[in-house]
């Protein structure tokens, strides 16, 4: 078990005293709870881009070809930034001819 020695200014010390008085916990219990909650907050907020977009409801909010990520060059004209005119999106299962070419 580790021992902690911390210097608290008057305002923080009063807050600690109030928490102890209201909860009936020791200083150690209050600090352990605070550290656990702060750690949980840090860990849960470290979700990365996927988690942020999922939480915001951004994932799956657009329509388009199901294989866009896999066949982006087929659907997009990267030089102009517009969708390719001659590309027809495929929805659902990949046609047999296309599957054979992938192998």
5-47 pLDDT tens trace:
999 999 999 999 999 999 999 999 999 999 999 998 888 776 7
The answer as to whether 90 is a domain residue is yes
Q: Report how far apart, in Å, the C-alpha atoms of 81 and of each of 65, 66, 86, 88, 89 are.
A: 17, 19, 15, 17, 17
For the entire predicted model, the pTM comes to: 0.45
What pLDDT score was predicted for residue 82?
64
77 and 41 within one domain: no
Which segment of 16-20, 26-30, 51-55, 79-83 scores lowest on mean pLDDT? 79-83
Q: How many domains does the chain have?
A: 2
Residue 10 in 3-state DSSP?
helix
Host domain of residue 43: 10-55
Instruction: Indicate the range of 4-18, 55-69, 82-96 predicted with least confidence.
Output: 82-96
Q: What is the dihedral of CA 40, 41, 42, 47, to 10 degrees?
A: 100
Contact 53, 67 (CB under 8 A): no
User: Is 64 a member of any domain?
Assistant: no
CA distances from 56 to 47, 50, 60, 68 (A): 12, 10, 11, 22
Beta-strand pair 82-83/76-77: antiparallel
In percent, how much of the chain has pLDDT > 70? 72
44 falls within a domain: yes
Please check whether residue 97 lies inside any domain of the structure. yes
Residues 50 and 81 in one domain: no
Does 23 map to a domain? yes
Q: Is a pLDDT exceeding 50 seen at residue 100?
A: no
């Amino acid at each position: 078990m580790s021992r902690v020695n911390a210097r608290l200014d008057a305002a923080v010390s009063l807050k600690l005293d109030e928490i102890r008085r209201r909860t009936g916990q020791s200083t150690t219990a209050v600090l352990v709870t605070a550290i656990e909650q702060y750690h949980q907050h840090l860990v849960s907020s470290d979700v990365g881009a996927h988690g942020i977009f999922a939480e915001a409801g951004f994932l799956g909010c657009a329509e388009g070809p199901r294989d866009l990520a896999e066949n982006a060059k087929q659907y997009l004209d990267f030089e102009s930034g517009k969708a390719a005119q001659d590309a027809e999106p495929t929805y659902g299962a990949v046609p047999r001819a296309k599957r054979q070419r992938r192998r």
